[in-house]
């Protein structure tokens, strides 16, 4: 099955790329503006703070309550901001979504009005004294960002994952949390944020993705008109991503155990592959990961859960930009060693090509389905387009899907042979606390 859904791209004056995908099965139109910058220790926290601050108000509608009321008047338009990272890139996303007017019995130009709000939020945020961003918003959002960063520990599996990547890369920027570092927050001023804003909007590449029940030409016209008031920009693309490397280095794998007041142990195993989306072996590695742990028919689920009843949740996942492969499992404290042993055994089986025909076939079918359903989820299409761009590769979902479909068992074993264990992290209970020192 082929995906008819493709973005059609227009270069706007001032260096912004507009990608439009018309699909009338949707009942809304969403515009997502993505700003890409380099992930670095010096700027990660300020960059993560910026979307939260400018979401509070625009120069035209500086008061947050008034902005919220405006959104309600636009039939519950949503205006969302977010931060993510891909390899050594930090991505800031700003999204407006409006209902197609016919479905709410309106003749208003909801998309045009939503686009204007999006533009104002990103390019003309509310300003306070001395032309800085509003001090009250900066201070409140600093506190909220601090709480957000610190609340990671409330989700034990996400916490274990974060700790594992920190243990793998220590002070390397690749290990930075997408929301930044709590210790950086207190020194940030409103003037710093104004400088951060100016620098990001003038020098970062900007992509605008529009998906929905819209008319392509009228979207291009609306966006062009709305962005015409934005001055010329000189985008400087971040340096291309060079990959994580396949070699875990000496003294690996490392084993790290930490204790907390928890009822269940959380195991995270971090593997390097040295491969990523741009490489020829990538499709084979995706299949290898599928056979290994992506699905409920995969080896990990079948062995760790169904055969040994050690876990309710046990999965593997693969990051297309870093090429890191993760295994996570929620298990009893005393099941750690057994579980690590089983995971390694199953990985060895994939490396040896010890994969039944049905395991390979089911994985190929599962991946084909996963690619096909992306057409129903605009967020996945946008994410894929960005992933390809960060990896500097011209690759469509169709092409990747076809490459995956052609993967053979030999390819799987060969790709799996590049997977090597770097770090095992285990979050255990207080009663199981490891000996100090």
Partner 1 sequence: MRDRLVIRSEHLREQVVCERLDSGLEVCTCSKPGFAKKYALLATRYGSNDVRFRVNGAEVDTPAGIAHFLEHKLFEEEEGSIDDVFAELGAYSNAFTNYNTTAYLFSCTDEFERSLKTLVDFVYRPHFTAESVEREKDIIEQEIRMGDDQPGWQIVSELMKSMYHAHPVRHDIAGTVESVRAISVDVLNKCYSTFYHPSNMTLFAVGDIEHGRVVDLVAGEMERFTHGPAPEVERVRPFEPGTVARARHTRKMAVSRPLVCMGFKDADVGYAGEKLSRKVVTCEILLSILAGRSSDLFMSMYNDGIIDTSFSWDYSFDRDYAMVTFDGRTPEPEAFVQRLVDGIGQFRRTALDLEAFERVRRMLAGTWVREFNSLEAITYQFIDYHFLDMSIFDRVRIASSVTEQEVKAMAEKLLNEPNMSVSVVMPA
* Residue 257 interacting with partner 1 (CB under 8 A): no
Give the Cα separation of 422 and 378 in Å (integer): 34
Give the Cα separation of 185 and 173 in Å (integer): 17
* Residue 32 interacting with partner 1 (CB under 8 A): no
Neighbouring-strand partners of residue 255: 424
* Residue 317 interacting with partner 1 (CB under 8 A): no
* Residue 103 interacting with partner 1 (CB under 8 A): yes
User: Which 8-state DSSP code applies to residue 303?
Assistant: I
Interacting residue with partner 1 among 8, 9, 13, 24 (CB under 8 A)? 24
Contacts of 143 (CB under 8 A, 6+ apart): none
Nearer to partner 1, 280 or 377 (CB): 377
* Residue 348 interacting with partner 1 (CB under 8 A): no
Closest CA to 320 of 395, 268, 263, 249: 395
Interacting residue with partner 1 among 249, 263, 394, 435 (CB under 8 A)? 263
Question: Residue 313 CB, nearest distance to partner 1 (Å)?
Answer: 7
Give the Cα separation of 22 and 381 in Å (integer): 13
The one segment of 187-195, 225-233, 260-268, 347-355 that binds partner 1 by CB under 8 A = 260-268
* Residue 6 interacting with partner 1 (CB under 8 A): no
Size of the site for partner 1 (CB under 8 A): 69
Other residues' Cβ atoms within 10 Å of the Cβ of residue 259:
16
* Residue 261 interacting with partner 1 (CB under 8 A): yes
Neighbouring-strand partners of residue 8: 20
Give the Cα separation of 325 and 257 in Å (integer): 20
Closest CA to 174 of 20, 29, 38: 38
* Residue 183 interacting with partner 1 (CB under 8 A): no
Interacting residue with partner 1 among 25, 130, 131, 242 (CB under 8 A)? 25
Question: Residue 146 CB, nearest distance to partner 1 (Å)?
Answer: 10
Peptide bond into 80 cis (omega under 30): no
* Residue 27 interacting with partner 1 (CB under 8 A): yes
* Residue 360 interacting with partner 1 (CB under 8 A): no
* Residue 151 interacting with partner 1 (CB under 8 A): yes
- CA distances (Å), 306 to each of 103, 114, 154, 269, 362, in order? 47, 49, 28, 20, 17
Neighbouring-strand partners of residue 208: 18, 33
* Residue 369 interacting with partner 1 (CB under 8 A): yes
Name the residues that contact partner 1, by CB under 8 A. Answer: 1, 3, 23-28, 64-65, 68-69, 71-78, 97-100, 103-105, 136, 140, 143-144, 147-148, 150-156, 260-264, 295-297, 305-306, 309-313, 330-332, 358, 361-362, 365-366, 368-369, 372-373, 375-376
């Amino acid at each position: 099955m082929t995906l008819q859904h493709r973005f059609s791209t227009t270069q706007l004056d001032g260096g912004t790329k507009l990608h439009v995908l018309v699909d009338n099965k949707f009942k809304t139109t969403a515009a997502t503006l993505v700003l890409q910058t380099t992930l670095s220790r010096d700027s990660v926290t300020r960059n993560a703070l910026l979307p939260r601050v400018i979401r509070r108000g625009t120069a035209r509608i500086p008061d947050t309550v008034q902005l919220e009321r405006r959104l309600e008047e636009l039939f519950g338009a949503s205006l969302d901001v977010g931060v993510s990272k891909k390899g050594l890139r930090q991505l800031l996303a700003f999204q407006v979504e409006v209902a197609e007017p016919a479905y709410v019995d309106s003749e208003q130009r909801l998309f045009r009005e939503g686009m204007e709000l999006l533009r104002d939020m990103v390019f003309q945020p509310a300003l306070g004294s001395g032309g800085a961003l509003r001090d009250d918003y900066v201070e409140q959002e600093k506190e909220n960002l601090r709480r957000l960063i610190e609340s990671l520990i409330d989700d034990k599996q996400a916490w274990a994952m974060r700790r594992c990547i920190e243990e793998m890369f220590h002070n390397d920027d690749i290990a930075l949390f997408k929301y930044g570092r709590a210790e950086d927050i207190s020194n940030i001023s409103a003037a710093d944020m104004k400088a951060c804003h100016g620098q990001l909007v003038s020098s970062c590449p900007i992509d605008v993705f529009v998906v929905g029940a819209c008319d392509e030409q009228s979207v291009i016209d609306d966006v062009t008109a709305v962005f015409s008031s934005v001055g010329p920009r000189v985008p400087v693309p971040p340096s291309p991503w060079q990959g994580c490397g396949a070699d875990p280095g000496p003294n690996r794998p490392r084993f790290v155990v930490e204790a907390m007041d928890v009822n269940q142990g959380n195991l995270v195993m971090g593997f390097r592959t040295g491969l990523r989306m741009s490489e020829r072996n990538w499709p084979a590695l995706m299949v290898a990961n599928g056979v290994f742990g992506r699905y409920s028919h995969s080896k990990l689920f079948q062995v760790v859960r169904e055969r040994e009843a050690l876990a309710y949740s046990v999965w593997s996942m693969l990051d297309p930009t870093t090429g890191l492969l993760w295994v996570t499992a929620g298990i009893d404290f005393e099941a750690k060693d057994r579980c690590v042993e089983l995971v390694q055994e199953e990985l060895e089986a994939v490396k040896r090509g010890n994969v039944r025909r049905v395991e390979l076939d089911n994985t190929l079918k599962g991946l084909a389905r996963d690619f096909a359903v992306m057409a129903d989820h605009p967020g996945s299409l946008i994410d894929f387009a960005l992933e390809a761009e960060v990896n500097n590769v011209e690759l469509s979902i169709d092409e990747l899907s076809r490459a995956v479909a052609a993967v053979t068992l030999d390819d799987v074993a060969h790709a799996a042979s590049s997977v090597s264990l770097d770090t095992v992290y285990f979050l255990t209970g207080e009663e199981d606390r490891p000996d100090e020192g």
